[in-house]
């Protein structure tokens, strides 16, 4: 009986080890995944966020340290997260990621770029000693929730969508590269035309152009006061016409008188010449 009992103890231990092995090996990670849908959770509480790419060797070397640091997250009251920039291009544009891996610290919506050593101990000291207080936070103009960075995120997402469409045209539809470029060029021209027409329509609605209408001739009965300058002008014109007519009549009378005097002289000169001849 003793040998059978001694065999049962190692068997029970072996079963426990086999039962607990999968759970130990496949332990759930304490690192949270941040995407375009839930990134606004970073604006509340304290966070440490790593931006990485699966193909990056430096990021691969950092992963064990980051996972170990995440195990202390509950004790330090800090959330440890990571962002895959290959899957979330919008967030890489929103945070202006120019190098990998990049680590940010966030406290109640204030973001600071971590520049210290990248070991588990250094991460823990950075949070426990509140070393982040000595760092200057990112300006509100360049914060991830600002209008500027939201526009940058949209541009990054648009570029990724264009790249996806380009690959679809070449790989799935079998178009040549120049054919794909032609499609994008025509789409750009059409979009620019529509955008220009829309801007003209908006400008015309906000600042309509003033069209000059022909002014009607003011009547003397309806507008006696405003027609006074016109009356003066008409009277002056009539006076000028009368003066011109008087001058013309006087000049005509003067020419007639001269003509009559010349005729009388010719008549008086004629008989005198006749008497001289005789």
Angle (deg, nearest 10), helices 57-70 and 120-128:
50
Residue 129 token pair = 């000693």
CB 57 within 8 A of CB 68: no
Candidates 59, 106, 165, 207; catalytic one: 59
Candidates 56, 106, 165, 205; catalytic one: 56
**Secondary structure class of 11 (helix, strand, coil):** helix
Q: Which residue pairs from 239-245 have beta carbons closer than 8 angstroms and sit at least 24 positions apart in sequence?
A: none
Residue 174 token pair = 């079998």
**Before 101, cis peptide (omega within 30)?**
yes
- The residues, any chain, with a CB within 8 Å of residue 88's CB and separated by 6 or more, are 34, 35, 36
Q: Which of 26, 114, 42 is nearest to 83 (CA)?
A: 42
CA distance 121 to 43: 25
- Is residue 59 part of the annotated active site? The answer reads yes
Active site residues: 56, 59
């Amino acid at each position: 009986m003793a040998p059978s009992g001694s065999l049962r103890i190692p068997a029970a231990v072996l079963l426990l080890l086999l039962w607990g092995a999968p759970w130990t090996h496949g332990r759930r990670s304490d690192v949270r995944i941040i995407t375009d849908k839930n990134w606004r959770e970073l604006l509340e509480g304290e966070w440490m966020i790593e931006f990485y790419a699966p193909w990056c060797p430096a990021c691969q070397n950092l992963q064990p340290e980051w996972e170990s640091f995440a195990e202390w997250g509950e004790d330090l009251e800090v959330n440890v997260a990571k962002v895959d920039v290959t899957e979330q291009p919008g967030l890489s544009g929103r945070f202006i990621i120019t190098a990998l891996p990049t680590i940010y610290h966030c406290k109640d919506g204030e973001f600071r770029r971590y520049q210290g050593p990248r070991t588990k101990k250094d991460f823990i000291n950075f949070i426990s000693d509140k070393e982040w207080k000595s760092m200057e936070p990112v300006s509100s103009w360049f914060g991830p929730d600002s209008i500027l960075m939201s526009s940058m995120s949209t541009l990054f997402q648009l570029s990724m969508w264009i790249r996806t469409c380009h690959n679809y045209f070449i790989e799935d539809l079998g178009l040549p590269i120049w054919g794909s470029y032609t499609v994008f060029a025509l789409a750009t021209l059409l979009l620019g035309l529509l955008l220009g027409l829309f801007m003209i329509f908006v400008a015309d609605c906000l600042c309509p152009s003033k069209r000059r209408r022909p002014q009607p001739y003011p009547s003397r009965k309806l507008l006696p006061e405003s027609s006074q300058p016109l009356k003066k002008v008409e009277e002056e014109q009539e006076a000028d016409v009368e003066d011109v007519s008087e001058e013309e009549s006087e000049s005509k009378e003067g020419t007639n008188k001269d003509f009559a005097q010349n005729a009388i002289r010719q008549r008086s000169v004629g008989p005198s010449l006749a008497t001289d001849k005789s």
